[in-house]
């Protein structure tokens, strides 16, 4: 396959989501003439260039792993001035841009090659030469990523130019339910016959085949209302918030719950939970009866997802995908950073709070919170420790209501007692 289209796509960050979703879908759309990506690791840039500007991904199908090559891709290191200039020129020509970096906290740094500065300069030049309108997909896992990115970029643009830039660009939030990872164990790559990113490195992208990605609808002004996206597979929604909550309090919450139950059950990979008696029914019940019922009560009538049948399909499809042995998702990877996952608004405590707000008691997600807590402080399963001393510092920034805190703590304390009795399911 060659790039025979007319459009330009620019991506920031060369990880599994950028490589296995944005660049891959842009490549297969047939709409693009140029694919450009920014990557700050010099060795990665050089290896892709040495491989005729192509790279490989591995796709976990339900019954196998397939591989695919993508390219040619123009890969530029924004820390190098000549590369940065080429990257800025590509932004001027781009109709679609995607950021897929580790966190929204990396949008702005003090460096001249900071993402927000490069974007700001490219967008200013786009206005100056009457370049094409564009959309920017913010793929960082934050429900306000697009708004944060826009504010950060606009801070780097002189006030006199901001309205002109805003007329040319729309920053879009995304709901990305595609599971992915980077395999760095050379023995595992060889054992699973994965194709490395390039032949000269011990790293492989492994992504699932799923590509139903939801995005904010791009509304331009009344004089230019229509915007055609080259990556047409993405599905636009006028209001993304219900779907963002379904992702965080459904998909992410149950994924984390599975990881912490897996940790307690002594398994290494999520797919091994299928052999643990009671594990899958427990996860399904949590997903349907606690997350699902809460979201249906809150958002019923807004979309077919928020109906009993729609959410049941969502649950069964996701559980099957989570347990795909070809995805090789590990308990350690999915359960990493338990402090963040126990945040007041994050997937475990946030789901418990959502359920309680809808009159549902989240006993199963409380088990997940207790299991995550036991990773932070293993002694909670051996001694009677004051859980508030561990959890309240994680919630302090949100200044939560005392009564709500007491209810959440009581549920987690009850669940810790259950874990001590080794009765998981």
* Reduced 3-state DSSP string for the chain: CCCCCCEEEEEECCCHHHHHHHHHHHHHHCCEEEEEEECCCHHHHHHHHHCCCCEEEEEECCCCEEEEEECCCEEECCCCHHHHHHHHHHHHHCCEEEECCCCHHHCCCCCCCCHHHHHHHHHHHHHHCCCCCEEEEECCCCCCHHHHHHHHHHHCCCHHHHHHHHCCEEEEEEECCCCEEEECCHHHHHHCCCCCCCCCCCCEEEEECCCCCEEECCCCCCCCCCCCCCCCCCEEECCCHHHHHHHHHHHHHHHHHHHHHHHHHCCCEHHHHHHCCCHHHHHHHHHHHHHHHHHHHHHCCCCHHHCHHHHHHHHHHHHHHHCCCCCCCEHHHHCCCHHHHCCCCCHHHHHHHHHHHCCCCCHHHHHHHHHHHHHHCHHHHCCCCCHHHHHHHHHHHHCCCHHHHHHHHHHHHHHHHHHHCCCCC
Q: Name all domains of the chain by residue range, CATH numbers in brackets.
A: 7-238 (3.40.50.720), 242-420 (1.10.1040.10)
Instruction: Render each residue's pLDDT in the chain as its tens digit; 425 residues.
Output: 668 899 999 999 999 999 999 999 999 999 999 999 999 999 999 999 999 999 999 999 999 999 999 999 999 999 999 999 999 999 999 999 999 999 999 999 999 999 999 999 999 999 999 999 999 999 998 889 999 999 999 999 999 999 999 999 999 999 999 999 999 999 999 999 999 999 999 899 999 999 999 999 998 875 566 789 999 999 999 999 999 999 999 999 999 999 999 999 999 999 999 999 999 999 999 999 999 999 999 999 999 999 999 999 999 999 999 999 999 999 999 999 999 999 999 999 999 999 999 999 999 999 999 999 999 999 999 988 899 999 999 999 999 999 999 999 999 999 999 998 877 77
């Amino acid at each position: 396959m060659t790039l025979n289209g007319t459009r330009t796509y620019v991506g920031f960050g060369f990880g599994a989501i950028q490589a296995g979703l944005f660049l891959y879908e842009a490549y297969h759309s047939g709409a693009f003439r140029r694919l450009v990506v920014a990557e700050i690791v010099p060795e990665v840039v050089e290896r892709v260039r040495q491989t005729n500007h192509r790279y490989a991904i591995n796709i976990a199908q339900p019954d196998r792993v397939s591989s695919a090559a993508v390219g040619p891709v123009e890969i530029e290191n924004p820390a190098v001035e000549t590369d940065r200039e080429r990257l800025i020129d590509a932004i001027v020509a781009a109709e679609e841009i995607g950021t897929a970096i580790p966190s929204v906290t990396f949008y702005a740094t003090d460096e001249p090659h900071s993402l927000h500065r490069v974007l700001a300069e490219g967008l200013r030049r786009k206005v100056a030469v009457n370049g094409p309108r564009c959309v920017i997909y913010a793929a960082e896992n934050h429900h306000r990523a697009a708004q944060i990115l826009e504010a950060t970029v606009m801070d780097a643009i002189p006030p006199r130019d901001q309205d002109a830039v805003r007329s040319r660009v729309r920053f879009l939030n995304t709901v990305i339910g595609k599971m992915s990872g980077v395999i760095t164990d050379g023995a595992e790559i060889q054992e699973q016959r994965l194709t490395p990113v390039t032949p000269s490195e011990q790293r492989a992208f492994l992504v699932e085949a799923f590509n139903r990605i939801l995005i904010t609808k791009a509304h331009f002004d009344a004089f230019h209302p229509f915007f055609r996206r080259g990556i047409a597979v993405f599905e636009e929604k006028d209001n993304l918030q219900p779907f963002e909550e379904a992702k965080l309090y459904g998909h992410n919450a149950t994924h984390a719950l599975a990881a912490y139950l897996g940790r307690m059950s002594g398994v290494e990979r999520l797919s091994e939970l299928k052999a643990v008696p009671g594990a899958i029914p427990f996860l399904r019940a949590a997903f349907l009866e606690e997350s699902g019922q809460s979201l249906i009560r809150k958002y019923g009538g807004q979309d077919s997802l928020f109906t009993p049948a729609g959410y049941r399909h969502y649950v069964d499809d996701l559980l099957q995908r989570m347990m795909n042995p070809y995805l090789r998702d590990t308990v350690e990877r999915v359960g990493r950073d338990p402090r963040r996952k126990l945040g007041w608004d994050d997937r475990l405590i946030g789901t418990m709070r959502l359920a309680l707000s809808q009159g549902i008691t989240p006993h199963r997600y409380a088990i997940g919170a207790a299991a995550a807590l036991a990773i932070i402080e293993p002694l909670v399963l051996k001694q009677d420790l004051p859980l508030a001393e561990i959890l309240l510092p994680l919630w302090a920034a949100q200044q939560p209501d005392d009564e709500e805190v007491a209810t959440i703590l009581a549920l987690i304390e009850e669940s810790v007692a259950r874990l001590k009795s080794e009765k998981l399911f």
